[in-house]
């Protein structure tokens, strides 16, 4: 009966809130407040409207409770533990989606669930992309938009060339920062195009064109925005690249993109039009009487009990087993020595915005130098805990965000000639930005392990959270610039020699 359906919903809602409340609190307060993802505040309204639109079709399809929904719930619960123990929030977001879909499948069956396929798909846009995907996508879009933007600038008769994500106009330099990558336009525009394709009642190939065309359209319009900023900068100065004018440009470009998408639909309607082809016209569902078989059928009860048991076991384990971390004591990195071997260092300090973004527990950055040698920079970021979305940021994503291009990246084994540790394996890469070339070594020091793969680091985080109640760790990055005529082997020797001298000191600051 309907009353029983309501009670089932209340019970499920209470259990899901106990499991996912803290995650969704972070999602709404932290992730949605980021400039790239503040469109997410509108997604619940979109999903609710799509559900309302499907209400008649949903009610007219009889329920057929199925055990198959448990095969969706189970991996969803597994992903909860992966995210909770490994510090990957995106895993918990997807976990909540899979569990919700599994519950609907258990009680309604596949045929009834299919009526809500599109609203459930749109619900995935509630979740921001994983950090490493977001960073790589932002970097790629910055470079691509910069390159296309330069071509457009040159069409206006202006001289310009690109160095990484910096556009040199001669009279000034424009830096294409993360905010100008176009990501904050690409995803909302893609969502809008998907909605347009959904409401465009036409052949599948036409709808696919509408949805996918938003990607190159977003890149092209964002490049045009960068070019217009450069052209207007010559006339009105810095105001063209900041404040109200900068934001207004973005708004206009987005509206132009929507007009282009509508124009595409108009053109496509002229090409091989179908008999029922239309835009923004709902499909009427024939009404038919069906018995209320949703949750009141006898065979739904054991499935309900099983699903509730899975959620209750998850809550019990989460509540009763002590998952609190044993955070080891460590020396404060402000005491990291400025003299290592024959090198003398000068301590550097990061801007507050980078400290807030990286979210480490402690760090050090020191520039070391000695006579007759190029300098070396050591950067160590230490994390007491890598849980709830706080984790180490790999240089493979951070350095490209500053315009550096990775060349000849791979692992290298460094003999240490020290008792107890014969060698360590590190990531090594040449990085280039314009005419500058530097050699970088980095590794992840994780509870006595030296790792080079961020995915491997995540796996050990989960294992050590279970077996050691620890997820602490550090990123160690050592960089040296290279002279124009210097051989790579010479830079390698410089870093290897320094690392051999540094490792004993470093081990005093990072718990093993």
Same domain for 142 and 120: no
CB 112 within 8 A of CB 492: no
pLDDT 10s digits, 434-443 = 778 999 999 9
Reported as a pLDDT band with limits 50, 70 and 90, residue 85 is confident
Same domain for 96 and 158: no
**332 pLDDT above the threshold of 60:** yes
Of residues 278 and 239, more confidence is placed in: 278
- Exposed (0-12), middle (13-18) or buried (19+): which is 432, by Cβ within 10 Å? middle
- Among 332, 337, 338, 362, which Cα is nearest to 350's? 362
Reported as a pLDDT band with limits 50, 70 and 90, residue 347 is very high
- Exposed (0-12), middle (13-18) or buried (19+): which is 395, by Cβ within 10 Å? buried
CB 358 within 8 A of CB 393: yes
pLDDT 10s digits, 248-302 = 777 888 899 999 999 999 999 988 888 888 887 655 554 444 444 444 444 678 8
Percent over 90 (pLDDT), the chain: 45
Residue carrying structure tokens 């556009």: 167
**133 pLDDT above the threshold of 70:** yes
CB 422 within 8 A of CB 510: no
Length of the chain: 512
Residue 288 lies in a domain: no
What single DSSP character describes residue 373?
S
**173 pLDDT above the threshold of 80:** no
Residue 385 lies in a domain: yes
**456 pLDDT above the threshold of 70:** yes
Same domain for 267 and 204: yes
The pLDDT of residue 503 is 92
Report, as an integer, the average pLDDT of 110-119.
Answer: 94
Same domain for 176 and 251: yes
Of residues 154 and 410, more confidence is placed in: 410
Number of compact structural domains in the chain: 3
Same domain for 236 and 169: yes
Distance in angstroms (rounded) separating the CA atoms of residues 407 and 429? 6
Same domain for 404 and 475: yes
The CATH code of the domain that includes 503 is 3.40.1000
Residue 97 lies in a domain: yes
Residue 169 lies in a domain: yes
Of residues 311 and 154, more confidence is placed in: 311
Query: Which alpha helices (H) appear in 124-160, and where do they start and end?
Result: 131-155
Task: Please report, for residues 167, 229, 448, the alpha-carbon distance to residue 175 in angstroms, rounded to integers and kept in the order given.
Answer: 6, 11, 40
The pLDDT of residue 175 is 62
Distance in angstroms (rounded) separating the CA atoms of residues 336 and 340? 10
Report, as an integer, the average pLDDT of 213-217.
Answer: 92
Distance in angstroms (rounded) separating the CA atoms of residues 210 and 190? 9
- Among 397, 253, 309, which Cα is nearest to 103's? 309
The pLDDT of residue 42 is 95
Distance in angstroms (rounded) separating the CA atoms of residues 420 and 371? 32
pTM, entire model: 0.77
The pLDDT of residue 290 is 44
Q: Using CA atoms in the order 250, 253, 254, 258, what is the torsion angle rounded to 10 degrees?
A: 170
Residue 289 lies in a domain: no
Residue carrying structure tokens 């394996």: 425
Same domain for 308 and 385: no
Residue 74 lies in a domain: yes
**182 pLDDT above the threshold of 70:** no
Chain-wide mean pLDDT for the chain?
Answer: 84
Of residues 13 and 455, more confidence is placed in: 13
Same domain for 120 and 162: no
Domain enclosing residue 52, as ranges: 2-128+294-320
Reported as a pLDDT band with limits 50, 70 and 90, residue 419 is low
**2 pLDDT above the threshold of 80:** no
Same domain for 202 and 91: no
Mean pLDDT check: name the lowest of 67-71, 294-298, 380-384. 294-298
The pLDDT of residue 119 is 96
DSSP letters, 249-299, are HHHHHHHHHHHHHHHHHHHHHHSS--TT-EES-PPP---------SS-STT
pLDDT 10s digits, 392-417 = 877 877 676 566 777 777 899 998 86
Residue 287 lies in a domain: no
Same domain for 145 and 219: yes
Residue 326 lies in a domain: no
Read off the tokens for 22. 């803290």
What single DSSP character describes residue 412?
E
The pLDDT of residue 79 is 93
Reported as a pLDDT band with limits 50, 70 and 90, residue 345 is very high
| Angle between helices 89-114 and 2-26 in degrees, nearest 10 | 150
Of residues 358 and 336, more confidence is placed in: 336
Same domain for 377 and 271: no
**382 pLDDT above the threshold of 80:** yes
The pLDDT of residue 403 is 63
Same domain for 339 and 423: yes
Q: What is the largest CA-CA distance in the chain?
A: 89
């Amino acid at each position: 009966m309907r009353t029983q359906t309501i009670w089932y919903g209340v019970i499920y809602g209470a259990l899901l809130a106990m499991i996912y409340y803290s995650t969704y609190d972070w999602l709404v307060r932290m992730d949605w407040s980021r400039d790239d993802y503040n469109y997410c505040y509108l997604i619940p309204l979109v999903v609710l409207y799509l559900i309302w639109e499907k209400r008649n079709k949903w009610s007219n399809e009889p329920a057929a409770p199925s055990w198959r929904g448990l095969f969706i719930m189970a991996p969803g619960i597994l992903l909860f533990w992966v995210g909770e123990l490994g510090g990957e929030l995106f895993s918990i977001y997807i976990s909540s989606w899979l569990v919700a879909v599994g519950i609907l499948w258990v009680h309604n069956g596949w045929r009834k669930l299919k009526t809500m396929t599109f609203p459930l798909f749109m619900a995935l846009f509630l979740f921001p992309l994983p950090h490493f995907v977001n960073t790589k996508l932002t970097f790629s879009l910055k470079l691509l938009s910069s390159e296309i933007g330069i071509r457009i600038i040159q069409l206006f008769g202006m001289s310009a060339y690109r160095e990484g994500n910096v556009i040199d106009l001669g009279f000034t330099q424009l830096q294409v920062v993360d905010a100008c990558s176009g990501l904050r336009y690409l995803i909302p525009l893609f969502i809008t195009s998907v909605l347009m394709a959904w409401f465009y009642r036409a052949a599948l190939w036409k709808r696919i064109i509408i949805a996918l065309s938003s990607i190159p359209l977003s890149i092209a319009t964002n490049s045009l925005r960068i070019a217009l900023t450069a052209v207007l900068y010559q006339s009105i100065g810095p105001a063209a690249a900041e404040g109200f004018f900068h934001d207004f440009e973005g708004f206009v470009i987005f509206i132009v993109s929507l007009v282009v998408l509508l124009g595409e639909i108009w053109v496509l309607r002229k090409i091989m039009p179908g008999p029922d082809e239309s835009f923004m016209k709902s499909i009427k569902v024939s009404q038919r009487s069906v018995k209320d078989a949703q949750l009141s059928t006898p065979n739904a009860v054991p499935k309900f009990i099983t699903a509730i048991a899975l959620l209750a076991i998850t809550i019990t384990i989460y509540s009763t087993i002590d998952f609190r971390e044993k955070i080891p004591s460590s020396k404060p990195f402000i005491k990291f020595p400025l003299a290592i071997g024959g090198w003398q260092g000068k301590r550097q300090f990061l801007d507050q915005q980078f400290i807030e973004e990286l979210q480490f527990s402690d760090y050090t950055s020191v520039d070391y130098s000695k006579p007759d040698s190029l300098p070396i920079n050591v950067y160590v970021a230490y994390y007491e805990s890598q849980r709830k979305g706080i984790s180490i940021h790999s240089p493979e994503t951070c350095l490209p965000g500053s315009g550096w291009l990775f060349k000849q990246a791979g692992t290298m084994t460094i003999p240490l000639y020290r008792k107890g540790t014969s060698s360590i394996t590190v990531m090594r890469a040449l990085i280039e930005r314009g005419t500058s070339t530097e050699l970088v070594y980095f590794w992840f020091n994780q509870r006595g392990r030296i790792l080079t793969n961020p995915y491997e680091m995540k796996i050990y985080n989960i294992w050590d959270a279970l077996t050691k109640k620890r997820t602490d760790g550090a990123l160690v990055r050592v960089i040296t610039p290279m002279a124009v005529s210097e051989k790579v082997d010479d830079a390698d020797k410089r870093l290897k020699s320094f690392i051999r001298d540094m490792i004993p000191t470093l081990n005093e600051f990072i718990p093993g």
